[in-house]
Amino acid sequence: MESGFEPRVLICCDCGEEFVFTAGAQEYFAERGFSEDPKRCKSCHTQYKKNQRLPHHQPADAAYHQSDYRSPD
Ligand SMILES: [Zn+2]
């Protein structure tokens, strides 16, 4: 069965640039019950994550691609 998700263009709250909320990412969000859209593009999200305290064994870029992919306020 098709997922029914289609890529959507969103505006990054940090840099103001458009970015694509991919079907895969939407499915990921839906599976985890996230009701809000991501607020940041990939590069800003990565930068945002770098500014957070991350476990040393988990680089920010890896976090983006794994279970930590979300865009908190
Ligand atoms: Zn951005």
Asked whether the predicted pLDDT for residue 2 surpasses 70, the reply is no
Mean pLDDT within 8-22 = 96
Mean pLDDT within 53-70 = 57
Cα-to-centroid distance, 33 and ligand 1 (Å): 23
Q: Is residue 58 part of a domain?
A: yes
Cα-to-centroid distance, 1 and ligand 1 (Å): 33
Chain segment 27-53, per-residue pLDDT in tens: 999 999 998 999 999 999 999 999 987
Q: Is residue 60 part of a domain?
A: yes
Q: Is residue 72 part of a domain?
A: no
Cα-to-centroid distance, 57 and ligand 1 (Å): 25
Cα-to-centroid distance, 72 and ligand 1 (Å): 14
Q: What is the pLDDT of residue 56?
A: 62
Q: What is the pLDDT of residue 31?
A: 95
Which domain does 39 fall in, by range? Answer: 8-65
Amino acid (one-letter) located at 44: C
Q: Is residue 51 part of a domain?
A: yes
Q: What would the 3-class secondary structure string for the chain be?
A: CCCCCCCEEEECCCCCCEEEECHHHHHHHHHCCCCCCCCCCHHHHHHHHHCCCCCCCCCHHHHHHCCCCCCCC
In the chain, the number of structural domains is: 1
Q: Is residue 53 part of a domain?
A: yes
